[in-house]
Amino acid sequence: MIPSILFTVLTLLEHVSAVVTTKPNIVIMYMDDMGWGDIGANGNWAKETPNIDKMAKEGMLFPSFYSAAPICSPSRASLMTGRLPIRNGFYTTNRHGVNAYTPQTIVGGISETEYLLPELLKEAGYKSKVIGKWHMGHRRDYLPLNRGFDEFFGSPNCHFGPYDDVETPNAPVYRDDTMIGRYYTNFTIHQGLSNLTQIFIKEGTDFIEKQAKAGNPFLLYWTPDANHQPPYASEMFWGKSRRDSRYGDSVMEVDYGVGVILAKLKQLNIDQNTLVFFSSDNGAEGIAGKNGGSNGPLLCGKQTTFEGGFREPGIAWWPGTIRPGVVTPQLGTTMDILVTAVGLAGLDLPSERVYDGIDLFPVLSGKVESIERPVWYYRGNELFAVRVGRYKAHLWTWSHEHYDFCPGEYVKDVTTPDQVNRTANPIVFNLDNDPGEKYTILKGSMFKEAMSLISPYLQKHRDTMVRGEPALNYCDRMVMNWAPHGCEAIDYCLKGPTESSIKLCGWDH
């Protein structure tokens, strides 16, 4: 009897040990230009995101979840490095306080001195794949397979076009490190009609199935770009949105993709060993009008350091670990995903550098309600604002002198068309009561409370900041996607300039 009981106890202990030490799979669903107000869980009137909303009900909703930049490329670089763009080099010094990204003419890309999430997780045996939009450099040294990913399906660039392949090449689509076609010509997008999101969904479920069958822990970075201008959708969702826009159709389709991928995790019985994060690279593009997204009650949108530019949909889903239906007060950022994933894999972060993300696992697991931390709002090479707790202090204000990034929105001395330095007298908002940043706090006890909370973080940040070498200063037509690796095999190499015309990129936003 005793040996039998002992055997049972040892078996149970072995099972518990296995459960505790199993490395969870990580899935990052990263949308493109999707606004905070585009999902039903955050109050969108159309209620056309049932799968994302269900994910929020089954997991944890972050009403205050932030990107690291109000534009695509630096946001993605920070997601993959856990570090602000000012540290990882994804910014420009060509003009004060302007955003920069990675068009086809960009010479630079993500620095080889930065550790990307797949590189770190590889040490723990993870297999990894990125699907969709890369946007961290299109030259060969910067592509995903040279930066730690095992597989890649998608494009290093956005789906702008169509182009004539003479003055401007259409963006390439890669399978791993080889070009297999181009947008518009081989992978068609015709007046907003395209099957690309369906292809991205299939690529995602196939990868999950392959890794589950092999018993590998995996990282899936699923980042469709259908919501970016010009938005596209397949026939399945064409004209279906009550929002009466192609953008609405595209949101419905990526929501469908979220549902398919989560269903695959459940079907394979690996959902309880998989942490899924859902978010977006920056706020919705207000300048796009009807064909853009919604930032809900938040001020302005993409390109700006107001809440509509930085605050994104944020959901964490992990059945059996995250208690369902939690709406957390925690301030989260996309940079937290790397730090959290590395910790869950049983690894230590490299000790010689500063990480701006925090480990969210204590919050996700319910061990603590929230962790106090700052949120930094950089626009290019300048820190424009800081949030700690409920308070946000604007150190600089700027919408834009030429572009209407805040259509129909005006707040006196806040949505300024010119850059205004407020560092000596910051403009403060209580975001708990005023997420739309309409009611300024310029003096009094609440102002003093806010600055006493923010100032120590701000001083330490400035005293210890080591800026990375800016990667987004130089452009050259010669480096465009004229002849990517693999173009010979499909007879699709283009003739580009034979001489360099390198110059400072003319960023104006």
Q: Among the options 72, 475, 487, 505, which is catalytic? A: 72
Alpha-carbon distance of 309 to 295, in angstroms, equals 8
For residue 123, give the 3-state DSSP assignment.
Answer: coil
- Quickly list H helices, 345-443: 361-364
Q: Is 135 a catalytic residue?
A: yes
**CA R_g for the chain:** 23
Alpha-carbon distance of 33 to 335, in angstroms, equals 17
Is there a contact between 104 and 138 (Cβ–Cβ < 8 Å)? Answer: yes
Instruction: State which amino acid sits at residue 112.
Output: E
* Best CA proximity match to 73, nearest among 129, 124, 120, 138: 138
Q: Among the options 135, 138, 400, 509, which is catalytic? A: 135
- Quickly list H helices, 124-238: 196-214
DSSP H or E run through 121: helix 117-122
> What are the respective helix, strand and coil percentages of the chain, to the nearest 5?
30, 20, 50
DSSP label at 146?
Answer: G
Q: Dump strand ranges (E) for 176-273.
A: 178-182, 218-223
The pairing of beta strand 311-312 with beta strand 65-66:
antiparallel
Q: Is 487 a catalytic residue?
A: no
For 281, residues 6+ apart whose C-beta sits below 8 A from its C-beta are 30, 31, 32, 33, 67, 71, 72, 75, 76, 79, 223, 312, 334
Alpha-carbon distance of 254 to 260, in angstroms, equals 10
* Best CA proximity match to 218, nearest among 209, 226, 227: 209
Hey, how many other C-beta atoms are within 10 angstroms of the C-beta on 398?
Answer: 25
Q: Which residues are catalytic?
A: 72, 135
